[in-house]
Amino acid sequence: MEFDSHLPIYMQIMHVIKNRIVSGQLRGGDKLPSVRDLAKEFKVNPNTIQRCYQELERENLVFTQRGLGTFVTEDLEAIKTLKTKMAHELTQNFIEQMKKLGFAPQEIIKIISDRINRRHDDE
């Protein structure tokens, strides 16, 4: 068993930014908020954001230009790949959890379909 699964904050923020990129809120070439601004928005230490941007750059999802700021990669293929990968992880995880609850694969599809095809999306 693994308790205390507590992801480091910089990784949590990376995830948020990846979400924004993948969903198109941030597009290829867009400027990311400055380290200081994002630190304020998330109420964390600027170092945390700094680390976050560094790691995103290492994954080639953003690039920095000295004196100008940090920008979303213009490699749209990379973004698409990321989107696929993130979707895959979510899906994998979801299916695994549902199986743990004792649902068979076909049941899972049915539950999802039913949930999505309801006329009014509650919430």
Partner DNA sequence: GTGGTCTAGACCACA
Vertex 99, ends 95 and 100: CA angle to 5°? Answer: 120
Residues in region 66-105 near a second copy by CB under 8 A = 83, 86-88, 90-92, 94-95, 97-98, 100-103, 105
13 alpha-carbon distance from chain centroid? 8
By CB under 8 A, which span of 26-34, 36-44, 59-67, 68-76 interacts with a second copy? 36-44
Residues in region 14-73 near DNA by CB under 7 A = 32-37, 44-48, 50-51, 53-54, 57, 64-70
User: What is the total count of residues that contact a second copy (CB under 8 A)?
Assistant: 42
| Neighbouring residues of 74: CB distance < 8 A, sequence distance ≥ 6 | 28, 29
87 alpha-carbon distance from chain centroid? 10
82 makes contact with DNA (CB under 7 A): no
In whole angstroms, what is the distance from residue 24 CA to residue 47 CA? 26
Residues at the contact surface with DNA, assessed by CB under 7 A: 4, 6, 8-11, 32-37, 44-48, 50-51, 53-54, 57, 64-70
